[in-house]
Structure 1
Amino acid sequence: MAYHTKLEFVWDKEEALYGLGSHEEGVLNLRGTHQYLYQQNMKAVVPVLVSTNGYGIVVDSYSTMKFHDDIHGSYIWTDMDSEMDYYFVYGPGFDQIVKNYRYLTGKAPLLPKWTFGYVQSKERYKTQEELISVIKEYRQRQIPLDLIVLDWRSWTGGDLWGGQKSFDPERFPNPTEMMEKIHKLNAKLMVSIWPIMNNEGPNHLEMKQKGYLLGNKATYDAFNEEARNIYWKQANEGIFSHGTDAWWCDCTEPFEADWFGEIKLEPEERLFINTQEAKKYLDPGYINAYSLLHSKGLYENQRQTTERKRVVNLTRSSFAGQQKYSTITWSGDIAANWETMRNQIADGLNMCVTGIPYWTLDIGAFFVSNRDQWFWDGDYQEGCEDLGYRELYVRWLQYGAFLPMFRSHGTDTPREVWRFGEPGTPFYDTLVKYIKLRYRLLPYIYSVAGWVTHQDYTMMRTLAFDFRNDPNTYNVNDQYMFGPSFLVNPVTDPMYYESGSVEIEGVAKKRSVYLPAGTEWYDFWTNQRHRGGQTIEAHADLETMPLYVRAGSIVPIGPTIQYTAEESNDPLEIHVFKGKDGSFLLYDDEGDTYEYEKGAYATITLRWEDQNNCLVIEDRQGTYPGMKMSMKLLLIIIDGGKENVDQKNITYNGEQTIIDF
């Protein structure tokens, strides 16, 4: 028997709700709203709600769902289930809720260190010569880069679509040699693959002959284990065996029925026609689960093939439990305008609060210009030649530097840094500044990634994670915490140029920032100290995205490097922001194997004792192959203002060290 089911709620008046995945609306607090939960381009579903009253709800259903907290009532409705099945998850802290969610649904494996570097992508690099030339240009300009992406049509011909998992021998005549060259340049390659295949290509024919296609005769049946194994065999033989490093699993919904026409349909109509299309080929009770199974097949088969490369899967859909398959969800084919960028902040926060740790987007948006189709809705016909787009792109990249994956991608216009100017010009210099900052923060970022795996932590954090006792944070939808220390405040309005390079006059170069109560805050750029519990007007010229560090933070900052695996003899800087006791667990391992699962990693606990004005560096715990036995450290103690900084150089040999200031 199958039923519609309904789980009804009575909320506290002041209770805020988050979660349900990444959608298009830019809504953070879900109170007083509704949401339709089905997989679609720009919609990624995770049926998890998290409440500021200290609990979560995990709905155990793969069917289409609706959430309502409006005139129709407060409830979650499921389209087809044998019974209503859900879990109440107590915290009360959000970190404990996430930990319990992952206990139910699976731990998140650690992504390789290079995943947290800069990712250059566009639609599309067409040849191996072009891929390699772009990497060389980054190296020549000394702009950091770790990963370049090969988007669709790596295969022969234009009609085989992404399910044909192989390289065109004319444009990629020697893929193994290509990968050797890319690796010698200290870069990695991600390749786009699709679950859809057609036009009688070799992969398509094999799936069809074995009966492993769904009813549309183009999409492989990811619910069938043997079909998943065949899909991996094809991907391995055609792509992975040549030395590629990562997967881009595009179109993992995989059925679309409204991706056409000049007019965007009403939400209810989109819900109906898209779910009806999917129901033609999928059991209605499992309509939301395709990407979960697709990701499972890729992860498990790569792990069986090699333990020397960690699985990386950038995918357009998500579901509860998908984190255990090393996925990063991106927000789909968004359009370039300020409203879209603003909405993305809340969308990403609602994804990550569910327990899915890795989320990203197309920096600069996928569609940049405006065309006849409703979704091709960018504001910039001249692309990167438009000074208005250059400003938007700079602001988007500043924001992207504080996302779990830092990735530029899109169509209509090139995305390489030098397309936005040359050295000495403000757009170029600012882009380089933030890419370099991302790399300097890698010791902090990779440590936080280690916590995600070992402690079920969350990297990208709605303010209620850390300031649930401050109700003023509940509806702040354009600020967030990145790890335990950084308050990130993207600039989401133009200050210099409108579309068409039209100069804007009289706009203050500031944005409002709420500093949560219960702590003091430091301006990262000036070290100026502010009390919490207030809204300030923060300096926000083109070069400056307002960035604050909470008192008591210990932030490890590395030297300037060109790729994540680069060795440097410069010291690791340990920045301590005075005002509270604080601690930081510095994590490291060899970066791209699964030996960490066997204990091959090292941690160092750093503790700041504010009253005693001393930093305690505990004994190092653990070891891994290639680990440096001693480290040069530059200790920087910050107490508000550039002049109030104390520094000491030490050498740390793995044993407890106490430094008084």
Structure 2
Amino acid sequence: MTMRHLRWSAHVYLMLCLLGTGVVWAQQDASHSGAAQASTTVTTAVVASRGNPVLPPMWAFGVLYGSYHDQAQVLSDMKQLRENHNGVLYWIDSSWLSGSYNKEPARYICFQFDPQQFPDATVMISTLRQNHFHFGVWEWPWVDQDCPLYKEGSSKHLFVEDATGHVANGKGWHGNKFTGVFDFTNPETVSWWQTLNQPLTDVGLNFFKLDTGGVYPKDGVLKDSSNSQDRYKTLYRKIPYEFSASANGGRGLVLTHTQHSTDADQYPGMWTGDSHATFDGLVAEMRIASSLNTPDTTAFWCGDTGGYNGVPDDELYIRWLEYTTFTPCQEFFGSKPTLTGSRFPWQFSKQAQDIFKSYTQLRYRLLPFSYSNAQIQYHVKPVQYQVRWIGSNQLVSGNGDSQILVQPITTAGSTTASVSFPVGSKWIDYWIGKIYQGGTSSTVPAPIDREPIFIRAGSIIPLGPVMQWVDQLPLDPLTLDIYPEGKTSYTLYEDDGVSTQYVSGAFSTTKFTSENSNKHEVVAIGASSGNYKGKPPERTYVLHIHQQGSSPAKVMRDGAGMKKLSSQGAFDAASDGWFFDAVAHILWVKFHISTSTATTVSL
């Protein structure tokens, strides 16, 4: 048998073990089918020159769930989410390897689904993908000495070794006493690691959750003699990210711990670690998150909504999810002993479920704004972070004229919050329309279903339709949520959401302007500039213009009068026209237009 046949047979064996088929290994050939803004960052394999943080796939901006569930539970979760809630990513934590957290150390990590819990992982993953979930698994960079793979790694010197040439002990916490650590500075190790993971991507894996801080043993000597913990952490992010990117045919995604390393923001993203399910834990998680947005961390981050350790009550779960609605990534996950290792909405009260649905729907509606801001984060220099912090207790989504200020509630029982408003503009209460002056502080209402949210006066916020998953519907109609104040603008960035072609210019921009003077409002939509695969040739726009004291006598588009509609229902049913909501003081305008054509609406 040739070496090629041995390698091929080994791959088939790994595939069979990984998928829990119960097939016995045989040696034969086979075949199968407020914060300071950073400046620039460093290079990546994707980006040809020094640049800003690279983009994960657009689907990563949806809602992410993790669990310790088995195959039957995972498919049940999927069914409930699709029937009643929102979501687009699902990962299985360490339980994909073993149903026992610390009594089967040899399975950590042998790259094999536990056949008792996952009798047919291929069907499970395929079903998830058919239902528009992107799939991931937990991994760490260690192989237990009792795993069959350990002997191969040791004999071929693929693990980090000490100065005497023996395998350095990586240890672990799943009952492990001795583990080998992948030496990612060794090209042969990288190739081996990719081979071990190939069966996963062959059946639909899209991303990795990478545990540990990504360091190698202190007594270890790296193959390339760099002996740099920083280099090792960088490679521990880079190699899985690029493998994920290859599997996805474009962009990759990893979730790693928040330890700093060179080039980290070129391999998105991170999660903020194992937080505690208390309000103090929420404050601590926010403090960690506020330290990110740097070249050696990430611009794409999230935390375990509800807290990892312990059991959140309804109030904490609600307040935490209200906050993470506005973080770059939103994920729900908990420790194995608590709520069966997950944070799904149906594990909480009816009120919590309703609020969960309301806020996750808001997150999906904000997708055109948040994803455009992530593109601005890449294309515009110096870098303008999609989400930034004021201290460690306020979030701002967006930049320039269009910003959303979020004041998370971090104290149990609170129904009000003290808010300090950034100087330089007015701020409008998202819920009731009350205006606050920048540079002032005020106590504002914060009932359990209303996190204090404020819109910068002058903002133009693009909104999409309510969706259950990213790409369920085209961003048509595109709603422009406009809060007039002087002359302001927002530029919408769009691309295909999956490829890396945005790096070489495959994206488009559309500039929106709002000019308000002498009680007259003019909204201009520029012709779209640039191109990418899948760019819409035309779309419907809905203008949602706030703070209108009275109905205008007429609404003109490009000099021609538009039809006035008698009710909200008539407006919703029409393809063109306008309607004034006298109760909410909002003017609605709708029209359909080529994306290559500019247009102006005046009141």
1:431 aligns with 2:356: yes
| SS in structure 1 at match of 2:455 | strand
CA distance in 2, matches of 1:160, 1:196: 11
**Of residues 352, 365, 376 in structure 1, which corresponds to 2:293?**
352
CA-to-aligned-CA distance 1:286-318 (integer Å, 9 cap, x gap): 234432111122234455x45624210001144
CA distance in 2, matches of 1:492, 1:301: 38
CA drift at 1:118 = 0.8
Equivalent residues in 2 for 1:217-296, closer than 5 Å: 217-237=179-199, 239-254=200-215, 278=218, 286-296=228-238
CA drift at 1:576 = 1.1
RMSD of the TM alignment (CA)?
2.6
Equivalent residues in 2 for 1:63-462, closer than 5 Å: 94-95=36-37, 97-99=38-40, 106-122=51-67, 124-127=68-71, 129-141=72-84, 143-155=85-97, 158-214=104-160, 215-216=168-169, 217-237=179-199, 239-254=200-215, 278=218, 286-303=228-245, 305-306=246-247, 308-353=249-294, 356-368=298-310, 383=311, 389-411=313-335, 412-413=338-339, 414-422=342-350, 426-455=351-380, 456-462=383-389
2:458 and 2:484 in contact (8 A); partners too = yes
Code of the aligned partner of 1:637? I
CA distance in 1, matches of 2:397, 2:108: 34
| SS in structure 1 at match of 2:587 | strand
CA distance in 1, matches of 2:262, 2:585: 47
How many residue pairs get aligned? The number is 498
1:117 and 1:147 in contact (8 A); partners too = yes
CA drift at 1:596 = 2.9
**Of residues 523, 548, 560 in structure 2, which corresponds to 1:615?**
523
CA-to-aligned-CA distance 1:592-631 (integer Å, 9 cap, x gap): 2233334333221112223362111111122333332111
**Of residues 466, 491, 494 in structure 1, which corresponds to 2:412?**
494
CA distance in 1, matches of 2:250, 2:124: 18
Equivalent residues in 2 for 1:572-587, closer than 5 Å: 572-587=478-493
Code of the aligned partner of 1:620? S
| SS in structure 1 at match of 2:113 | coil
Q: Percent identity?
A: 24
Change (3 A) 1:284 1:244: closer
Code of the aligned partner of 2:547? D
1:163 and 1:204 in contact (8 A); partners too = no
CA distance in 2, matches of 1:289, 1:354: 15
Change (3 A) 1:568 1:351: closer
Change (3 A) 1:225 1:108: farther
**Of residues 511, 527, 543 in structure 1, which corresponds to 2:417?**
511
Change (3 A) 1:105 1:126: farther
Corresponding residue for residue 398 of structure 2: 483
Code of the aligned partner of 2:272? S
**Of residues 503, 516, 520 in structure 1, which corresponds to 2:426?**
520
**Of residues 549, 567, 570 in structure 1, which corresponds to 2:455?**
549
CA drift at 1:440 = 0.9
Code of the aligned partner of 1:478? N
CA distance in 2, matches of 1:196, 1:541: 47
Corresponding residue for residue 558 of structure 2: none
Corresponding residue for residue 638 of structure 1: 546
| SS in structure 2 at match of 1:462 | strand
Stretches of structure 1 lacking an aligned partner (at least 5 in a row):
1-50, 53-93, 256-276, 369-382, 464-475, 496-507
Corresponding residue for residue 591 of structure 2: 650
TM-score, length of structure 2 as denominator length: 0.77
Change (3 A) 1:297 1:353: closer
Corresponding residue for residue 380 of structure 1: none
CA distance in 2, matches of 1:607, 1:106: 28
Comparing 392-401 and 581-590, the one that deviates more = 581-590
| SS in structure 2 at match of 1:137 | helix
Larger radius of gyration: 2
